[in-house]
Structure 1
Amino acid sequence: MLQESTRLREVLAEHGGAFLRAAAIFADGNCNTGIAVMRNAIAPHGTLTWPISTYLPFLWSPDKRMFLKPTATRDFVERIGHRFAIEYDSEITADVYWSLLDLADDTAVGIDAAQPGRPHRRAELHLGRRGVSRREPPVMGSGR
């Protein structure tokens, strides 16, 4: 993540306004437009990645958005058998992101089934992925 954060700092220093507006558009739910503008803003610094594209939207709206760290997330979904394992692509697309949000929703359902009445937030799902993957996999719905 160090390399990612260095690139993000470079982008914000040179193209901060455009990148921040794009991240806000993404956070508002218009993923296709947000992705396109973020991709243009970061182009002089390399390729847009999942961590860079999802970091700020998650910070701004942790109950609606998710921060995607591909390696950890793919490890988790392979353990629980969620369709995100098949739908994931390193190419930043709205379809993959919506599948990630379905994973978060399905994980919340599984946690609710295992621990009824325990309140949780999407941010806790993100931070608690490793803990969930060590126990019996939660029962997952089919998503959308």
Structure 2
Amino acid sequence: MSAPYHAFVQVENTILKIETDDVSVKTISFVKNIEENSPETPPILKDAVIQLEKYLMGKLQEFELILNPDGTDFQKKVWNTLLTIPYGATCSYADMANSLGDPKVIRAAASANGKNPIAIVIPCHRVIGTNGSLTGYAGGLNNKRLLLDLENKVANGVMTLF
């Protein structure tokens, strides 16, 4: 069952669908088309829209949203680990597995990373291959590259992407 409220954010060719309940963000996903927004808009949905727009314009580096993604305990542990990756930085899947305390969970961690339901805010786009390659992203590798480029430009004081 999807969350009861949703809205869309579009900057350039990037369209995001945000879904919330009354108090927390449940999902943020890349979509191809904009549909009608929910007729009711709770404060959390309004905040999420504003913060995502600011992020995509290079004017926000840290989100202040209540998140409540659905997932297993292990997935939630991985997603909480993703929240520790600083804006403009990246880490490898191996680094992530090590930070979870067990280098053998690299595949499970990568799988949980790929199932992250709250794109951008839970920054799974900041995880790259050990060799520095861009690997897998539910929103598409082009969007992953755009997000990393945006953060790199903003973090280094260069003109924003959008």
Q: What's the TM-score, normalizing by structure 1? A: 0.31
Q: What's the TM-score, normalizing by structure 2? A: 0.28
Answer 1 or 2: which has greater helix percent. 1
Answer 1 or 2: which has greater strand percent. 2
